[in-house]
Amino acid sequence: MAKILENQLASLHQDFASMGREVATAIQQAAQAFKQEDQQLAKQVVDHDLQINQQEMYLEKKAAQVIALQQPVSSDLRILITILKASSDLERIGDHAASFARATLRIPVDQKNPLIEDAIFKMSQHAYEMLQQVIQAYVDNDEKAARQIAQADSKTDDYLRLIRKEAMSCMQTDPDFVTFGTEYIVVAAHIERIGDYVTNVAEWIVYTNSGKIIELSNN
């Protein structure tokens, strides 16, 4: 029985890490589509979100079955709870990546603001790196790294403030920019939420080790 549980947990670990890497790719592709005005790539990110949703449902179902049939206790149960909760966070990150990609289809070339565009791209790259790092922390079961990654979310918040300030300034001087300035703020908010959900995943890694749910964000 113990060997069966061990094999099932190993399979779930692999599936969760695979989902995390796919979601990270979605962020990276959304950023590339936004920067390069690639509508085909943006649509690809949006369409792929359905597969990410299906992965979450599969992980939830598989983890729930293991809990019901194997009745794990202690550390094994915490691992399964982490997969259940953190897979939901990954699915939400995928949703925000798709929303980010959709913005590529809505902001016309003649209304693009170079300063805001650059900040959004850098912000998205930071969120992408955070997610990559937290998935590696999950694979390594590295609580220290998870805590450090959560602290890096403050940089995402800094980018959001910068983008909001610049967009609001442009909207005040150019009424025609209001629609697109608002769009930029919404895009930055989606990326900021990605940082929040990465922090959630980091918190679940800490829970796996300590058995305690600890809020790591400084916000």
**The pLDDT value given to residue 130:** 97
What confidence tens digit (pLDDT) does each residue in 127-159 have?
999 999 999 999 999 999 999 999 999 999 999
Structure pTM? 0.93
Q: Could you state, in chain order, the average pLDDT of each consecutive group of 10 residues for the chain (219 residues)?
A: 86 96 96 92 95 96 92 90 95 96 81 91 97 96 94 96 96 91 95 97 92 69
**The pLDDT value given to residue 73:** 86
Alpha helical stretches, state H, 71-218: 74-104, 114-140, 143-151, 153-173, 178-210
Task: Work out the percent of the chain whose per-residue pLDDT is above 70.
Answer: 97
- Counting beta carbons within 10 angstroms of the beta carbon of residue 128, is it exposed (0 to 12), middle (13 to 18) or buried (19 or more)? buried
